[in-house]
Structure 1
Amino acid sequence: RALAPLGPDFVSVTYGAGGTTRQLTHEAVTALASHYGLNVAAHLTCVDATRDETMAIVDAYAAAGVTEIVALRGDAPQGAAAFAPHPQGFASSVELIGAIADRGGFTIRCGAYPEPHPDSPGNAADVAWLKRKVDAGATSAITQFFFDADTFFRFRDACAAAGIAAPVRPGILPIQGWAGAKRFAARCGTSVPQWAEDAFAAAGREGERALARDIAVRLCDDLIAGGVDALHFYTLNRPDLTAEICASLGVTARQPAAA
């Protein structure tokens, strides 16, 4: 309700850690698609499911009128040290993307890492893996969050040099709480710059929200100045800060068409 008036290209609904909310994800996706007039992209992972089970979810989305999927490998289930594919499941996001593409009828988005994925040996491997996902059928990518626009620009240039023609959209994380953002960064390989540590330490709890808004707006301004034409916000189910950032960027509610 809070963000739909801004006219997003799509909204996505994630899985919980380890695919634990698979049924709730399906229910949320179908409700948003049916009742709120939003283009919904459903997250789908390879975690803890057979190929047949995963493709049954794809078929159920299609039956509900969902035409977009964000296809991901997914994180290790709770308590597991590392991701391990189900014996009868998809071993990677590349395999999952290929199966969805072969089925047809979906726009497929995938993840991308402007800084090395925790399981990756380095940036070059992440670019090569993204190319495999695009070659398998992904039509665009959404990056993990980052703090500096140059981090994204270096990755975008490397993708172009590797022949990746699909759009790579920067993922923006409005910082709802500094401690939580740092834990999130540690899990996904995002480097935390010292300037951010110093800024949040100086701001304290009372100034944290205003600082978070300012950092996000400056980052988005830098990205737009560098040629970025679409931004993907990780709202974490808390829309107000994202709405404030969008307003600062000049993105306001769309007026309904005249009758």
Structure 2
Amino acid sequence: MKLSEIFKTGKPTISFEFFPARTEKAAETLNQTVEDLVALKPDFVSVTFGAGGSTKDGSYELVKKLKKEKELEVVAYLAAFALKRNEITSVLNNYQDLGIENILALRGDPPKDTDVTQVPADSFKYASELAAFIHQNYGFCIGVAGYPEGHIDAPSLEKDIEYLKLKVDQGADFIIAQFFYDNVYFLNFMERCQKIGINIPILPGIMPVYSVKMMEMLAGNCGAKIPEKLRKGISELPEGDTKALIDFGIEYAIGQCEELLKEGARGLHFYTMDRSESAAGIVKGLKNKGLLTI
């Protein structure tokens, strides 16, 4: 089912992001994570696509497993950077043959070992170009990424929202937002979207705190600010107590999600990092508060 149809139900959606495992040990963890989170009956799940197609085959196999074995609605990410036009077409055709109805169109980041001067001439330089190509040639429901705090490459918040509007004008049906730790950025982002005429569903991205090191790294990579409230809460935990940190992260995210839902968020999209404990804890906590029905 297309997400555009799912959103018509009006109830907040719950979704989880997975990425293909690169080792046997990671595969075992991912399999258990999928089992744990599928039990929560998400409205859909998503599968990432590595830079420059680095996980193309692994992404396809994971999408296939989730679609065919687990009978889930899947949003397949497609990062176009450095891929030739025929490679893009091949990926889209394979997903179409698999019965996938939803694609998240992304520019993608350059692989670390890529010489940008050698990028194929017919590759898509922007997500808006990929969205337009998919819209013109396929029947997928198209999602794009949004950045509440602005994309790190954007010269300003104003320009960033203009780029997002362009992606919407080129055929996007929904937006999945980058994660944030302070809801004010998402709420301000929603206001900017409304002012510029973006009226499609926008899902906030939720990134639980898995470890301090990971939090700092991920926030640094995407330009997400870490609020003092979050830093202070972590500083008050027993040093080295991993369980206390995970539990604190769950409660912090529950607070975030509770406010977002009360403010009218169309759903919650969890960046699981292929782990289940935090995402499951947050969803169950929201259900106990009567904010979700799962």
Residue 110 of structure 1 contacts residue 141 of structure 1 at CA under 8 Å; is this kept in 2? yes
1:207-236 per-residue CA deviation (whole Å, 9 max, x = no partner) reads 211110111000001111111131111111
User: Residue 244 of structure 1 corresponds to which residue in structure 2?
Assistant: 281
User: Residue 268 of structure 2 corresponds to which residue in structure 1?
Assistant: 231
Q: Give distance in 1, aligned partners of 2:65 and 2:82.
A: 24
User: Residue 94 of structure 1 corresponds to which residue in structure 2?
Assistant: 128
- For 1:197-212, what aligned pairs fall within 5 Å after superposition? 197-203=231-237, 204-206=239-241, 207-212=244-249
1:150-200 per-residue CA deviation (whole Å, 9 max, x = no partner) reads 111100011000001111110000111121111111111111222322222
Q: Give the secondary-structure state (helix, strand or coil) at the position aligned to 2:36.
A: coil
Cα distance change of structure 1 residues 139 and 31 upon mapping to structure 2, 3 Å threshold: same
**2:105 is aligned with 1:71:** yes
Q: Give the secondary-structure state (helix, strand or coil) at the position aligned to 1:250.
A: helix
TM-score w.r.t. the length of structure 2 is 0.82
Structure 2 regions of 5+ residues with no counterpart? Answer: 1-34
Q: Give distance in 2, aligned partners of 1:222 and 1:168.
A: 15
User: Residue 186 of structure 2 corresponds to which residue in structure 1?
Assistant: 152
Structure 1 regions of 5+ residues with no counterpart? Answer: 255-259
Residue 52 of structure 2 contacts residue 83 of structure 2 at CA under 8 Å; is this kept in 1? no
**2:186 is aligned with 1:162:** no
Q: Give the secondary-structure state (helix, strand or coil) at the position aligned to 2:240.
A: helix
1:111-135 per-residue CA deviation (whole Å, 9 max, x = no partner) reads 0000021101111111111111111
Please report how far the alpha carbon of residue 78 of structure 1 lies from its aligned counterpart in structure 2 after TM superposition. Answer: 1.5
**2:260 is aligned with 1:216:** no
Please report how far the alpha carbon of residue 6 of structure 1 lies from its aligned counterpart in structure 2 after TM superposition. Answer: 2.0
Which deviates further from its counterpart, 46-55 or 110-119? 46-55
Residue 50 of structure 2 contacts residue 79 of structure 2 at CA under 8 Å; is this kept in 1? no
- Amino acid corresponding to residue 28 of structure 1 in structure 2: L
**2:221 is aligned with 1:184:** no
Q: Give the secondary-structure state (helix, strand or coil) at the position aligned to 1:205.
A: coil
Q: Give the secondary-structure state (helix, strand or coil) at the position aligned to 2:231.
A: helix
Q: Give distance in 2, aligned partners of 1:83 and 1:218.
A: 45
Q: Give distance in 2, aligned partners of 1:186 and 1:134.
A: 27
Cα distance change of structure 1 residues 157 and 250 upon mapping to structure 2, 3 Å threshold: same
Q: Give distance in 1, aligned partners of 2:184 and 2:202.
A: 14
Please report how far the alpha carbon of residue 49 of structure 1 lies from its aligned counterpart in structure 2 after TM superposition. Answer: 1.1
- Amino acid corresponding to residue 192 of structure 1 in structure 2: I
Q: Give distance in 2, aligned partners of 1:90 and 1:25.
A: 20
**2:43 is aligned with 1:9:** yes
Which deviates further from its counterpart, 110-119 or 197-206? 197-206
Cα distance change of structure 1 residues 80 and 192 upon mapping to structure 2, 3 Å threshold: farther
Which deviates further from its counterpart, 53-62 or 224-233? 224-233
Residue 147 of structure 2 contacts residue 177 of structure 2 at CA under 8 Å; is this kept in 1? yes
- For 1:2-41, what aligned pairs fall within 5 Å after superposition? 2-41=36-75
**2:113 is aligned with 1:113:** no
**2:230 is aligned with 1:193:** no
RMSD: 1.9
Match of 1:140 among 174, 187, 197: 174
Residue 29 of structure 1 contacts residue 42 of structure 1 at CA under 8 Å; is this kept in 2? yes
Which deviates further from its counterpart, 147-156 or 83-92? 83-92
- Amino acid corresponding to residue 250 of structure 2 in structure 1: R
User: Residue 51 of structure 1 corresponds to which residue in structure 2?
Assistant: 85
User: Residue 257 of structure 1 corresponds to which residue in structure 2?
Assistant: none
Q: Give distance in 2, aligned partners of 1:253 and 1:220.
A: 14
Percentage of identical aligned residues: 33
- Amino acid corresponding to residue 37 of structure 1 in structure 2: E
